[in-house]
Chain A
Amino acid sequence: MSLDVAAVKAQFPILDQQVYGKRLVYLDNAATTQKPRAVIHAIQSFYEKDNANVHRGVHALSERATAAYEAAREKVRGLLNACSVREVVFVRGTTEAINLVAQSWGMARLRAGDEILITEMEHHSNIVPWQMLCERTGARLRVLPINDAGELCMEQLPSLLNERTKLVGVVHLSNALGTINPVAEIIRQAHAVGARVLVDGAQAAAHMPIDVQQLDCDFYATSAHKMYGPTGIGVLYAKETLLDEMPPYQGGGDMIRMVTFEHTQYNELPYKFEAGTPNIAGAIGFGAAIDWLRGLDMGEIAAHEQNMLQEATRRAKDLPGLRLVGEAKHRATVLSFTMEGIHPHDLGTILDREGVAIRAGHHCAMPVMQRFGVPATVRASLAAYNTLDDLDALFLALEKACAMFA
Chain B
Amino acid sequence: MNSTPTNDNPFAGDSSGIQQRETAARWGLRVGSYIVVLITVAIMLHIFVKGAPVVFRSQWPFVNTQFLTELPATLHVIEDQQGNHIETDVNGADAVKKKLGDHFRAEKTISYSGGGILGPIVGTALLVIVSVGVALFLGVACAIYLSEYAKHGKFLEMVRLAILNLAGVPSVVFGLFGLGAFVLTAPRFVGVPAERSVFAIPLGFTTISFEGWDTCVLSGGFTLAFVILPVIITASEQCLQAVPQGFRETSMALGATRWQTIRYSVLPFATPGILTSSILGIARAAGETAPIMFTAALAFKDKLPWQKDLPPLPADASIFAHWEQSVSRFLGIFTESVQALPYHIYTLAAKIPQNEYAERAQYGSVFVFLVLVASLAASSVLLRKRLRAKYRW
A, B bound: no
Interface residues of A (CB under 8 A from B): none
Interface residues of B (CB under 8 A from A): none
